[in-house]
Structure 1
Amino acid sequence: MTYGHAAISNPPNIVKLDKSIAYRQAGHAVGICLGNRLKQLPPVYFQVTLTSREDAGQINNRYLPALSQYNASVEGGRLVQYLPSSFAEATRHLTWAQRHEYQCAFDADVANLLAGIMAEAYYFSQHEGVAFNANLVYQLAQSSDGGRANMDLINGYLKCWSPDQADRQKKLADLFLATYRFVNEPSNWQTITFLADYLWGRPTGVVPCEDIIALVDSFAGGFTKLCQSELPGFFMRRKCL
Structure 2
Amino acid sequence: MKRYNAILINNIPAHPETLRKQTAIHEAGHAAAIYLGNKQKQLPPVFFQIIIKDMMHDTQWPRQTRHSISHAMACFAKVEGGRLIHTLPSSLTEATRRFSPLERQAYQSAFEADIVNFLAGPLAEAKYIALCDNEIFNPRLVNLDALHFYGGVADVALAKEYLDCLIVGPQEKERLIAELFMAAYRFISQRSHWRAITALAEFILSSGKKVIECEEIIRVLEAQAV
Equivalent position to 1:142, from 148, 151, 165: 148
Flag structure 2 segments of 5+ consecutive residues without an equivalent. Answer: 1-15, 57-65
Percent identity between matched residues is 39
1:39 aligns with 2:41: yes
Listed one character per residue, the Cα deviations across residues 144-187 of structure 1 (whole Å, up to 9, x for unaligned) are 6x521111110101111234111111111111112211111111
User: Within the alignment, does 1:110 sit opposite 2:115 as a pair?
Assistant: yes
Query: Unpaired runs of 5+ in structure 1?
Result: 1-14, 59-66, 222-241
**Matched residues, number:** 198
1:33-182 matched pairs, under 5 angstroms: 33-54=35-56, 55=66, 57=68, 68-134=73-139, 135-138=141-144, 141-143=147-149, 146-182=151-187
Deviates further, 197-206 or 36-45? 197-206
| Residue 23 (structure 2) pairs with residue 21 (structure 1) | yes
Cα deviation, residue 75, structure 1: 0.8
Q: Deviations over 1:8-45 (max 9, x none)?
A: xxxxxxx9552111111001000011110111111001
Q: 1:138 to 1:56 in 2, by over 3 A?
A: farther
1:214 and 2:216 matched? no
Higher-Rg structure is: 1
Is 1:183 matched up with 2:188? Answer: yes
Give me the whole-angstrom Cα distance separating, in 2, the residues matched to 1:26 and 1:103: 25
Contact preservation (8 Å) 2:115, 2:162: yes
Instruction: Give the partner amino acid of 1:18.
Output: R
Is the 8 Å Cα contact of residues 121 and 137 (structure 1) preserved in structure 2? Answer: no
Q: CA deviation at 1:91?
A: 1.2
Distance 1:36 1:57 in 2: 40
Matched to 2:45, the amino acid is P
Choose between structure 1 and 2: higher helix proportion.
2
**Root mean square deviation, CA, Å:** 2.1
Structure 1 Cα separation of the partners of residues 33 and 67 of structure 2: 29
Pair 141,68 (structure 1): closer, same or farther in 2 beyond 3 Å: farther
Q: 1: CA distance between counterparts of 2:216 and 2:117?
A: 18
The secondary structure found in structure 1 opposite 2:198 is helix
Q: With structure 2 as the length reference, what TM-score do the two structures score?
A: 0.80
1:140 and 1:70 map into 2 onto residues whose CA distance is: 22
Alpha-carbon separation, structure 2, partners of 1:30 and 1:155: 21
TM-score (normalizing by structure 1)? 0.75
| Contact kept in structure 1, 2:30 and 2:121, CA below 8 Å | yes
Q: CA deviation at 1:132?
A: 2.2
Q: SS state of the match for residue 105, structure 1?
A: helix
User: Contact 2:144/2:181 (CA < 8 Å) preserved in 1?
Assistant: no
1:100 and 1:138 map into 2 onto residues whose CA distance is 26
Question: CA shift at 1:68, angstroms?
Answer: 3.1
After the TM superposition, list the runs of 4 or more consecutive aligned residues in structure 1 that deviate by more than 6 angstroms.
none
